[in-house]
Structure 1
Amino acid sequence: MNDGAVRPAERVLDLFHGARLTPTQRRIAHCLMEHAQRVAYLSAAEVADLAGVSQPSVTRFAMALGYEGYPALRREMRWLTPGETRPEQPAEHNAMQLAVQAEADHLTRLRDQLGRLDDVERAARFLADSPVLPVIGLRAAAPLAGYFGYFAAKVRPDVRILDTGGTNLLDRLDQARHAGASAVLAVVLPRYPRESLDAIREAKATGLAVVVITDSAVSPAAQAADVALPAAVGTQLVFDLHTGPMAMAMVLLQAICDADPEPAQRRLEEFEATATRRHIFEA
């Protein structure tokens, strides 16, 4: 349990496996993972403030995991996350600097998370083996789905961006499956659109392998996926920052290219030749 190669957040994640959590409890779980070493020394009231929930919610969360109360859960977390906490940022930093620093911290955790590529490689294999690649991304996730799809289309023969909801979404998912899709990538970010979750469940019910990029290993999208690739979002500003999920998307695309390198390289060379002939770029 105390293997130094295992990150504190991964040890904390073990506490939640198999637990059916409410949305508020998932929020608390995400907070505990994101601030694993720090929260092990905070009171229930301080954790509630950090997670943006009520103090009774923190107590009920601990009891839902089988503990007598939050102090018992905190003792377990101290055992799981030994070591010193990171010092607080200097007070002279303004709110914008702190938001950017939080993103830098997220990327540092993502870097450490990628020390083990098992999930990324498994996800890449699912997607590389799919002749048609549907990419779901609704609401806040739509730009990221489009960004991934723009570059994926340079190395994959048939990439379909599904970025609008409504009844047409499931129709387009069916069309992709009938055209040969064996897997789907879904980008699902807070506040977790219901239509995205419904599409994931429908995809699984029809036999598609589901890969999800989401903000936390305990998000509702992760619970429904075959492979979940978590990357934290920034919450310091009025609207979330998606630096981490974007980095994860590009890491996944690189892994897809690595899983099937010859066709990817051939398609890239074909694109470059076409771009040169058509004078698409100035440089």
Structure 2
Amino acid sequence: MDTVHDNTERGDAADTGAAPAESASSRLLALFEEHRLTPTQRRIAHCLVRHAGEAPYLSSVEVAQLAGVSQPSVTRFAVALGFDGYPALRARLRTLGLPVRTETEAEVHRNEYVSAVHAEIANLTRLAEQLADPGPVAKAAALLADSRPLVVLGLRTGMAPARGFGYFAAKVLPDVRVLDEGGSLLADRLDQARAAGATGLLCFAMPRYPRELTEALRTAREVGLRIVTIADGPFAPAAALSDAVLVAGVTGQLVFDTCGAPMLLGQVLLQAMCDIAPGRAQARLEEFDRQALERGLFEA
């Protein structure tokens, strides 16, 4: 499974004795990935990765609030990692050389709306840093580019990015099937897509993760589909069922999460798919433009 991790550091270590920046988040991920974690524990691990700068100084109550779990769950998480309790885990985190994020005075006094925008900007900045290595996206694109039809799966919070991707993908691919409703017919539609020749499925897995989504991915694997998942973190349940995982963070500053970075990552993936056969993609775009002109679809 190829994974684009939600790393926040890049570059070489300075001569000041600080821990190498490029390895800080990877060491944090390694600490968690060595263990079999429950869905709740994966949620806590993902929360700590997202708040790496603050993690070594957060109390178990603060971690529980950030992750949306109970305080005893945080304690059980620490024990599952082999520590006597959360204080021992926090002490271990302080040895990893995680970068400490400090807020400017302007950030401290900003309102919740501005805070949400800054959080989304931070997710996009991390995504830009990850895409400095285009290899994982190129590999994911190769898994999907030749699938006819191409299946796009997104349930509940994953519905919007799945529909958006499907709308644009249909302009450059001859058959795109967006599956955005659960229920007993979902497995039937996966079977039908496979019978029609589908070889690849793109999944958008956003929190909270629907159980139906995991079940659908199991069905997709059983019928032989290759799965690429865009998720908010490497610990999403869908990751274990995927051939490739691309990570883009979501923002939880508002009543509902915002998914700007995952949607942008979907567009980047679609671009990489077009780059595999640019002539074919261009021909379909030109045909769409011709038909749009004939039908008078747009004002200008």
Q: Which of 95, 98, 103 lines up with 2:112 in the alignment? A: 95
Per-residue CA distance 1:115-167 (angstroms, 9 max, x = gap)? 22232111111000212101111122222211100100111111011112112
Measure the CA separation in 1 of the matches of 2:98 and 2:181.
Answer: 45
TM-score normalised by the chain length of structure 2: 0.87
Quick check: 1:141 aligned with 2:158?
yes
Superposed CA RMSD: 2.0
Question: Aligned pair in 2 of structure 1 residues 184, 36: CA closer, same or farther (>3 Å)?
Answer: same
The equivalent residue for 1:168 is 185
The equivalent residue for 1:225 is 242
Q: Aligned to 2:257, what secondary structure does the other structure show? A: coil
The equivalent residue for 1:31 is 47
Question: Aligned pair in 2 of structure 1 residues 205, 33: CA closer, same or farther (>3 Å)?
Answer: same
Q: Aligned to 1:245, what secondary structure does the other structure show? A: helix
Measure the CA separation in 1 of the matches of 2:198 and 2:43.
Answer: 33
Asked if the contact 1:40–1:81 (Cα under 8 Å) also holds between the matched residues in 2, the reply is no
Measure the CA separation in 1 of the matches of 2:157 and 2:144.
Answer: 23
Measure the CA separation in 1 of the matches of 2:215 and 2:94.
Answer: 38
Quick check: 1:119 aligned with 2:119?
no
Offset of residue 71 of structure 1:
3.4
The equivalent residue for 1:280 is 297
Quick check: 1:22 aligned with 2:38?
yes
Give 4+ residue runs of structure 1 displaced > 4 Å after superposition. none
Quick check: 1:40 aligned with 2:56?
yes
Question: Aligned pair in 2 of structure 1 residues 32, 259: CA closer, same or farther (>3 Å)?
Answer: same
Higher relative contact order (CA 8 A, sep 6+): 2
Q: Aligned to 1:228, what secondary structure does the other structure show? A: strand
Question: Aligned pair in 2 of structure 1 residues 256, 80: CA closer, same or farther (>3 Å)?
Answer: farther
Asked if the contact 1:184–1:210 (Cα under 8 Å) also holds between the matched residues in 2, the reply is yes
Q: Which of 254, 266, 278 lines up with 2:283 in the alignment? A: 266
Offset of residue 259 of structure 1:
2.1
Quick check: 1:65 aligned with 2:43?
no
Measure the CA separation in 1 of the matches of 2:95 and 2:34.
Answer: 21
Offset of residue 18 of structure 1:
4.3
Question: Aligned pair in 2 of structure 1 residues 232, 152: CA closer, same or farther (>3 Å)?
Answer: same
Q: Please, which runs of 5 or more residues in structure 1 have no aligned partner?
A: none
> What residue identity is the alignment partner of 2:89?
L
Q: Aligned to 2:54, what secondary structure does the other structure show? A: helix
The equivalent residue for 1:178 is 195
After TM superposition, the structure 1 stretch with the greater mean CA deviation from structure 2, 39-48 or 214-223, is 39-48
Q: Which of 164, 167, 174 lines up with 1:157 in the alignment? A: 174
Quick check: 1:51 aligned with 2:71?
no
Counting matched residue pairs gives 282
The equivalent residue for 1:13 is 29
> What residue identity is the alignment partner of 1:190?
P
